[in-house]
Amino acid sequence: MTESDFNEADTAELVGEFRTVTQNLRREVGRIVVGQDQVVEHLLITLLVGGHCLVTGMPGTAKTLLVRTLADALGLKFDRIQFTPDLMPTDITGTDIIEDDANGKRSWRFIPGPIFTNVLLADEINRTPPKTQAALLEAMQEYSATVRGSRHDIERPFFVLATQNPLELEGTYPLPEAQLDRFLFNVLLDYLPLEDELTVVRRFTSEHLPEPVKPCTNAQQILAFQQLTRQVPVSQQVGRYAVELVRATRPEDPAATSAIKQYGKFGASVRAALFITMAAKARALMAGRYHVTTDDIDALASPVLRHRMMLNYFAEADGVSVDEVLRDLVDQRAAA
């Protein structure tokens, strides 16, 4: 489907469908997953721009339940990989086996791994060494996997949601910068507020458990929504704002804040500007708008940039976090 395939009436109809479907998805997922509305919004944005998402949170914060519920509501195929220290790359991509046919002739047959799905949960990705983590990289970037020199395409839509535990926990391996940069968002999943936690306990310990979620869409409609998202116009002013925001994360940039110059080691690449612009388009559509504003850019700055910036040892010594530095940057640019 190309841009010319949409006329004005089709676009208006699709925008209406887009908002209705995303509202239904949020409602269905919210029946099962309590108190994570913003996280659900970020996951939907990631899917609608064809990206991948990294979720950082402590064990027991419903990361697995969240992505499984979302996959069911999307009506897509779902698979899960539990990353462990002994996981091999072929456990992810699949492998070739030798089999005999009816005549006794031997031949190779490819057995697809769990990566050949629509929604893939890479659970606790930082529990496995970098060599195995890297097996995801080709699939995330190229929508394919190479096994024994043969390339196998992955059907779209393809959405990787990787969860990781905080690096302070034992037995974790930091993700390589090249792989971190492939994730559109790094979403923080925190413990719930008291009232939400009470709701979870009441809801899942009662006699009547919540009804299973109902599919609100399908793969074909999601692909159409992804194409629609790419068509949302971005004014020169908003586009410049997004690029300048990303450039200001680099300590050597003249627009960098004093905090970034003091605490920043390196900033975000041009990929961050691409991702934040695309994500802002999806956010605008979810709000019923066919144009992007600087508020969309500001709202998505932290999840897009927090895993693309690295702070120096002065920040560690002073107890300064990436999110604090980013909030200061966004506040200063909004006030300018």
Domain boundary among 215, 231, 247: 231
Please indicate, yes or no, if residue 105 is contained in any of the structural domains: no
Residue 3 pLDDT level (bands cut at 50, 70, 90): very low
Q: State pLDDT tens for residues 107-142.
A: 888 899 999 999 999 998 888 888 888 888 888 888
pLDDT value at residue 233: 94
Residue 171 pLDDT level (bands cut at 50, 70, 90): low
pLDDT value at residue 176: 78
Residue 1: pLDDT above 70? no
Proportion of the chain above pLDDT 70, given as a percent: 96
CB 43 within 8 A of CB 162: no
Picking from 138, 128, 148, the residue whose alpha carbon sits closest to that of residue 52 is 138
Please give the model's pTM, rounded to 2 decimal places.
0.89
- Same domain flag for 227 and 238: no
pLDDT value at residue 27: 93
Q: Please state the separation of Cα 128 from the chain's center in Å.
A: 20
Please indicate, yes or no, if residue 50 is contained in any of the structural domains: yes
pLDDT value at residue 177: 81
How crowded is residue 264: how many other Cβ atoms within 10 Å of its Cβ? Answer: 25
Mean pLDDT, the chain, rounded, equals 89
In whole angstroms, give the CA distance from residue 139 to residue 158.
9
Domain boundary among 231, 257, 288: 231
pLDDT value at residue 294: 96
Residue 57 pLDDT level (bands cut at 50, 70, 90): confident
pLDDT value at residue 317: 95
Number of domains in the chain: 2
Average pLDDT for 198-212: 86
Domain boundary among 231, 260, 293: 231
- Same domain flag for 191 and 53: yes
- Same domain flag for 51 and 195: yes
Please indicate, yes or no, if residue 102 is contained in any of the structural domains: no
- Same domain flag for 208 and 239: no
pLDDT value at residue 4: 46
Q: State pLDDT tens for residues 256-271.
A: 999 999 999 999 999 9
- Same domain flag for 200 and 261: no
Please indicate, yes or no, if residue 93 is contained in any of the structural domains: no
> Is the alpha carbon torsion for 272, 273, 278, 282 positive or negative?
positive
CB 330 within 8 A of CB 273: no
**199 CB burial (10 A radius; 0-12, 13-18, 19+):** middle
CB proximity list for 185: less than 8 A, separation 6 or greater: 42, 45, 46, 51, 53, 54, 279, 300, 303, 304
- Same domain flag for 159 and 188: yes
DSSP code of 103? T
CATH number at residue 311: 1.10.8.80
Half-sphere exposure of 96 (CA within 13 A, CB side): 13
Tell me the three state secondary structure of residue 235.
coil
Picking from 172, 215, 186, the residue whose alpha carbon sits closest to that of residue 276 is 186
Structural domain that includes position 181:
1-87+117-231
Alpha helices in the chain (DSSP H): 8-32, 37-48, 63-74, 90-93, 130-133, 135-142, 177-180, 194-205, 219-231, 236-247, 258-263, 270-286, 294-299, 301-305, 313-318, 322-335
Residue 167: pLDDT above 70? no
In whole angstroms, give the CA distance from residue 296 to residue 280.
5
Q: State pLDDT tens for residues 267-315.
A: 999 999 999 999 999 999 999 899 999 999 999 999 999 999 999 999 9
Please indicate, yes or no, if residue 280 is contained in any of the structural domains: yes
- Same domain flag for 193 and 287: no
CB 74 within 8 A of CB 119: yes
CATH number at residue 180: 3.40.50.300
Provide the token pair at 146: 């190479």
Residue 170 pLDDT level (bands cut at 50, 70, 90): low
Residue 186 pLDDT level (bands cut at 50, 70, 90): very high
Backbone angles phi, psi at 276, to 5 degrees: -70, -30
pLDDT value at residue 126: 85
Provide the token pair at 187: 């979403």
- Same domain flag for 281 and 139: no
- Same domain flag for 76 and 211: yes
- Same domain flag for 308 and 167: no
